[in-house]
Structure 1
């Protein structure tokens, strides 16, 4: 995880101190800056700044990455897990920069296509800004699914262009870079600086060839309808195939994580955002199969003091003491799933981290969280962001297997796993069952296709800004390109067979393929767990006024 800040202006441009602090929070290991001035006749310069959170390779790769001759510069924020289907060993930022530099040495007529093809071959979450001085072109963008943040602002008066991981100010100039294209700004000679800077970036497709039926530039969605009723079971091929692909995704994301600074060799290196629900608990269970026996895993579970809910609980308690944190739905589910994990994973040192957030803390961090989620600005955005923000801070109390609170604990990990994406891929939302009840499989297929096609426009940039501010990198195993491609190509009834309803084991149809995998892994309680939105499970929704709607704009 890194912080990117690149400005194109008539003179070197200083980063505002508040922004520099946020960038350092994203990448506390190193802050670097490179200033590149073009031909004097163009009268503009590029200022590249990067901060680094070192998680790949055996050394700190200082950024911005600059070629020995200074002709190419790369600011890289992300994880290139594969290139053309092959895993990248060592530091991925350096590997990508080397390939881009070689592409920049191609014949002038094919140079841009060579650069675009390198970028198109990357699998993984990333945002980047790349400059080729010989071409006088600036390339930038986010990965196909938009898993890393990148913001853009153009000043119509000064002509300045700024590309950054975070917005410098909450004003209308700033917008998120769309994840559907690679963007190129031509800074060639013959244009005054204002005209050059205000020129619209040219968009280049993620796919080099035309595939109009590809979804998110990843694969074709299977719209087939079943010819008969075939109920999903633990022995169904899709269950075993999901397990294999999820294990492949997890291997990339949980193995070879370097130890946190000042940590002992056996210290915990990985934490899971843990509500106790199906998606995150399956990740924890499979991660147990991959990590060495002595590795610890932190399970971060957040619960909030919601004044509106607390008042109701106190009234219902008739004067008796009430622990409103322990009464949070996600805390109840989290403890239950934690106990089940302990039972099926003997010997694994899982640590349940109970993060209890007083209302005073929520209020104290309100302005900070609002600035991080911008340009998202609704009450629902804030409710979700609160839960992610305090989970990423990872400060709470360790809970033992006996359920008793232990000592205060702050997790030192720098890598978080999130279960996001499973609902969209496997039909876990209520709207999926509603679509089936109204129009059968044709309605369900349309709804699943819509969800997958909108993954890149969802809120992953917002979530990245919130959690990266705490010096953490969040990884999404369900959003691995290979897994997403397989899920799109798998017929709907092999993921969620709503026509069969709840089965004899109490397994509901939504995300049935994942529930059956949980059952096969020995977690019956988890397999039966109902879906619940994070803002309701952690009780961050409607904290100050019960009548406020999720769509209400923040003031």
Structure 2
């Protein structure tokens, strides 16, 4: 995870526009606490360019100092994200350095723009970037095809353009860069900004080749998903067998998840300033509600990590004044723990116990993050600023939960070496700088209530349409918001369910091999996300397999803190 800031200006704009405000610099350094760098370049007269990067070092054996570039060529790359594969091959070492090398090599070719676009299209992983190709005096920028990393743009003045991972606090003119392609700007000898051209993630030739192979089954305006693959629109035959633990899709999902987790959970370096004599044995934490999606991730991560590495399970619960008032009324004067009464805390404790049972040798640590209402209010302005341009009550309630979860400060129970049968509650902050999230599973495997409604109304035809709608807008989800909120604590959130290869497999798999509403009672688990529920059963977690879907803002009780009548779509006042 890194922070990006790039500004292009002409002389009619004050040179002060290059300067970072104290607040913005602080926020960028929070995203990347390991290094801060800045370089300047002269574009074609009258343009000047300033690039700033902060670095959270999570790849390779050293801190790659950004912005990446050299004075001889003059090109510059600000890179924020992870390239798990380039052109289908795993990336060893620092990915930013590897990408910069490929971009400069592409720049030296005869058709350099096409070659540079080809390099960027070949990257698999979550990222945002700004690249200045000095030989052609061209700026490239964008976000990955699923929008998993944040990039904001401010082009309010015709003589300046600013790109940044986060918005300047209080400036409403910042917008999110859409995750719909690669943006290209050719600088010219003019004081006005030249037009920006967008290039799709899928090339025109690839699109044409795909059109030739399209069948009647896939004949739909949304059959292509973010340039990743085609959505399977086929419907089941009348004699289709229901999903079972032995179904091939269950084994395939396990294989896909393991391959997705492998680069995301392994080889995470020790923080550069850590004490070498006290090497941290916990590098990974899971955003842990205790639900199906996150618990399966925790269970499979256990299979991959060395036995002596810990895994922290971060579970958040909030003091919601409206709910507390009702609890006090219902308790009739009896003492109660308002945090332990939160739905996600109850589910989390239960799933934690099941993980301990099936993986007794793993040091899972349940980190209970309890957030008093006063602390929520104290951080309200910061969360709202990081969320921008998202500004609804639902955005805020989700933002609160992710923000405090990523901070990772709470309490846990530890067993005393002198008294193995007793446990002591201690204050604890996770040292993990990588957070795993289960986001994406509901869209891919049919976990929302509206999927069941669609099936009731129109059968598999309706379900397929609803699933297609969800996956087609994955790139427009609120992942940029989530990135800004969580990266504020120097953490990187990774989404194993949103690996490009897993997404491609999921969208190309027929709907009835993912969720099985036609045979609702045959396997003992509900039909929504049944393929994932059956995988949980295979992994020995019967209770987890039966957990129902619950939105984070209700599970952690961040929703409707003041009034039960506030709608999620209400704008923040």
Q: TM-score, normalised by structure 1?
A: 0.96
**In the alignment, does 2:235 pair up with 1:225?**
yes
CA distance in 1, matches of 2:352, 2:282: 17
Give the structure 1 partner of residue 215 of structure 2: none
Give the structure 1 partner of residue 144 of structure 2: 143
SS in 1 for 2:282: coil
Displacement after TM superposition at 1:405 (Å): 5.9
Give the structure 2 partner of residue 16 of structure 1: 21
SS in 2 for 1:155: coil
CA distance in 1, matches of 2:558, 2:506: 31
**In the alignment, does 2:430 pair up with 1:430?**
no
Give the structure 1 partner of residue 216 of structure 2: none
Classify 1:127/1:90 alpha carbon distance in 2 versus 1 (closer, same or farther; 3 Å): same
Contact 1:467 1:473 in 2 (8 A): yes
Q: 1:271 aligns with which of 281, 285, 306?
A: 285
Displacement after TM superposition at 1:67 (Å): 3.1
Q: 1:538 aligns with which of 553, 556, 566?
A: 556
Displacement after TM superposition at 1:413 (Å): 1.1
- Residues 55-111 of structure 1: CA distance to partner in whole angstroms, max 9, x if unpaired? 00001100000135142100000000001111000000000000000001111xx11
Q: TM-score, normalised by structure 2?
A: 0.93
Give the structure 2 partner of residue 98 of structure 1: 101
Give the structure 2 partner of residue 360 of structure 1: 374
Displacement after TM superposition at 1:38 (Å): 2.0
Displacement after TM superposition at 1:217 (Å): 0.6
Give the structure 2 partner of residue 4 of structure 1: 4
Q: 2:322 aligns with which of 308, 331, 335?
A: 308
SS in 1 for 2:518: helix
Q: Which moved more, 1:402-411 or 1:308-317?
A: 402-411
Q: 2:225 aligns with which of 203, 215, 239?
A: 215
- Residues 21-53 of structure 1: CA distance to partner in whole angstroms, max 9, x if unpaired? 0000000011100111123xx212000000000
- Residues 456-515 of structure 1: CA distance to partner in whole angstroms, max 9, x if unpaired? 00100000000000100000000000000000000000000111113353x000000000
Displacement after TM superposition at 1:10 (Å): 2.5
Q: Which moved more, 1:169-178 or 1:415-424?
A: 169-178
Gaps (5+ residues) in structure 2?
212-222, 416-420
Contact 2:414 2:426 in 1 (8 A): no
CA distance in 2, matches of 1:403, 1:427: 43
- Residues 365-423 of structure 1: CA distance to partner in whole angstroms, max 9, x if unpaired? 00000000000000000000000000000000013589966100011111000000000
For the aligned residue pairs, the C-alpha RMSD in angstroms reads: 1.4
Contact 1:352 1:400 in 2 (8 A): no
Q: Which moved more, 1:241-250 or 1:167-176?
A: 167-176
Give the structure 1 partner of residue 123 of structure 2: 122
Gaps (5+ residues) in structure 1?
none
CA distance in 2, matches of 1:127, 1:251: 22
Q: 1:372 aligns with which of 386, 395, 405?
A: 386
SS in 2 for 1:63: coil
Alignment of 1:14-413 (within 5 A): 14-39=19-44, 42-107=45-110, 110-156=111-157, 159-189=159-189, 192-194=190-192, 197=193, 199-208=194-203, 209-210=206-207, 211=210, 213-228=223-238, 229-260=240-271, 261-262=273-274, 264-400=278-414, 406-413=425-432
Classify 1:363/1:344 alpha carbon distance in 2 versus 1 (closer, same or farther; 3 Å): same
Contact 2:244 2:523 in 1 (8 A): no
- Residues 328-379 of structure 1: CA distance to partner in whole angstroms, max 9, x if unpaired? 0000000000000000001100000000000000000000000000000000
